[in-house]
């Protein structure tokens, strides 16, 4: 029997995620698996929490990784904090805003939405007017919309959120690539993932709850409707002197997350953010030379996720398939109304380096 793993080649991951895994993280993944209550593993868990708080710029005690992908972390925020008859507002300008709406409406019918054009930034004035018209228990928005490359102005939106309204933010693509200040921006619940800015495989997703969010969780009148993601139980496994078993954590994935966080802190958080911005500028310069333009206005672009317009007459699938099959380079296509119209080029984590950009541009130049 042929082992299918033998057919897997090293691929330069320059799509919307996952990003290329760093050598140090691969080494961490190969460490021997130990028990999920082993004292050595508990120390790793504690250090993961400390590093997450440092990089998210928060003092939130409930800051930990969910055992699952970014979508699990998203759902953890919603299932723990939404309780009928809560009034919820979700601001949407892309695919992952739609996912928020889908999750919220499964939990509660009382969900309002504000929809903006994909590829355009959210209109602050319209949000301000909306929040003056109606009182909401929860407002949710995506920081870096992976489907479009738009970086929404979370700090500005935060100023509009009333003190008695919980603010949920998706930081799946922004964490580890641009600045995030959870406490300064008064974010009550924020979540991310391991496979983008942290250059780990998918499977461990950071989440952080403010004291106000914890108060809402502890004072629910009904149980959290999802047992696996019930943070009132998970926190007893991740915190305190006496760890209470909840589930078997993905041990080696937590090794990877630990190392990925160490890499960011050792390089310096500000240096990491600057590296992503410089990589974006380098990519833009070289794409300009190929006549390829960006979808998003420069002021609102995510440096780590570059949505570019496919040149007229070029077949999207042919180019991406050729890049993957002939050059072992992966880039992403568009979603929803942008399918076949844009490419999404990721410069996240370990991928955000000049030599990777040079490889992509060289291959694109030949293909085009």
Do 296 and 359 fall into the same domain? yes
Residue 304 confidence (pLDDT) above 80: yes
- Would residue 2 count as lying in a domain? no
For 159-189, the pLDDT digits (tens) are: 999 999 999 999 999 999 999 999 999 999 9
For 249-303, the pLDDT digits (tens) are: 999 999 999 999 999 999 999 999 999 999 999 999 999 999 999 999 999 999 9
Do 282 and 255 fall into the same domain? no
**Structural domain that includes position 305:** 10-18+269-367
- Would residue 325 count as lying in a domain? yes
The three-state secondary structure class of 358 is helix
List b or e across 245-260, with b for residues whose CB sees 16 or more CB atoms inside 10 angstroms: ebeebbbbbbbbbbbb
Do 228 and 285 fall into the same domain? no
The pLDDT value recorded for residue 240 is: 73
Number of domains the chain contains:
2
CA distances from 323 to 12, 184, 232, 309, 329 (A): 10, 42, 46, 17, 5
- Domain boundary among the residues 247, 265, 283 is at 265
Alpha-carbon gap, residue 307 to 347, rounded angstroms: 11
- Would residue 31 count as lying in a domain? yes
**What is the overall mean pLDDT for the chain?**
97
Do 221 and 278 fall into the same domain? no
The pLDDT value recorded for residue 79 is: 98
Do 298 and 222 fall into the same domain? no
For 286-297, the pLDDT digits (tens) are: 999 999 999 999
For the full predicted model, state whether its pTM sits above 0.85.
Answer: yes
- Domain boundary among the residues 265, 293, 309 is at 265
Residue 362, domain CATH:
3.90.1150.10
Do 105 and 149 fall into the same domain? yes
Do 223 and 277 fall into the same domain? no
The pLDDT value recorded for residue 171 is: 98
- Domain boundary among the residues 245, 265, 285 is at 265
Q: What is the mean pLDDT of residues 29-37?
A: 97
For 117-167, the pLDDT digits (tens) are: 999 999 999 999 999 999 999 999 999 999 999 999 999 999 999 999 999
The pLDDT value recorded for residue 144 is: 98
Beta strand extents in 192-274 (DSSP E only)? 204-209
The pLDDT value recorded for residue 1 is: 61
List b or e across 64-74, with b for residues whose CB sees 16 or more CB atoms inside 10 angstroms: bbbbbbbbbbb
């Amino acid at each position: 029997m042929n082992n299918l793993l033998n057919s897997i080649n090293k691929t330069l991951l320059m799509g919307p995620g996952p990003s290329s895994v760093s050598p140090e993280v691969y080494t961490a993944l190969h460490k021997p698996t130990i028990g999920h209550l082993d004292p050595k593993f508990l120390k790793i868990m504690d250090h993961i929490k400390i590093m997450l708080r440092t990089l998210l710029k928060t003092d939130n005690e409930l800051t930990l990784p969910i055992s699952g992908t970014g979508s699990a972390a998203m759902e953890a925020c919603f299932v723990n904090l939404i309780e009928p008859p809560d009034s919820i507002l979700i601001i949407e300008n892309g695919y992952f805003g739609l996912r928020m709406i889908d999750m919220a409406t499964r939990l509660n019918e009382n969900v309002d939405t504000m929809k903006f054009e994909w590829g355009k930034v959210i209109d602050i004035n319209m949000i301000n007017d909306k929040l003056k018209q109606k009182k909401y228990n929860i407002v949710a928005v995506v920081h870096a919309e992976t489907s479009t490359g738009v970086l929404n102005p979370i700090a500005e939106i935060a100023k509009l959120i009333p003190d008695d309204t919980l603010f949920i933010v998706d930081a799946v693509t922004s964490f580890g690539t641009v600045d995030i200040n959870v406490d300064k921006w008064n974010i009550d619940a924020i979540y991310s993932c391991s496979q983008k800015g942290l250059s780990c495989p998918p499977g461990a997703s950071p989440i952080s709850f403010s004291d106000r969010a914890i108060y809402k969780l502890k004072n629910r009148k009904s149980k959290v409707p999802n047992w696996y993601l019930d943070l009132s139980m998970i926190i007893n496994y991740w915190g305190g002197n006496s760890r209470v078993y909840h589930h078997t954590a993905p041990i080696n994935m937590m090794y990877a997350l630990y190392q990925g966080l160490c890499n960011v802190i050792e390089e310096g958080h500000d240096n990491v953010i600057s590296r992503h911005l410089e990589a974006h500028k380098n990519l833009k310069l070289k794409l300009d030379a190929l006549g390829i333009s960006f979808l998003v206005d420069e002021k609102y672009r995510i440096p780590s996720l570059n949505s570019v317009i496919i040149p007229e007459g070029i077949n999207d699938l042919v180019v991406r398939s050729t890049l993957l099959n002939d050059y072992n380079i992966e880039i992403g296509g568009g979603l929803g109304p942008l399918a076949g119209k844009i490419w999404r080029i990721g410069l996240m984590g370990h991928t955000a380096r000049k030599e990777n950009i040079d490889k992509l541009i060289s291959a694109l130049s030949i293909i085009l």
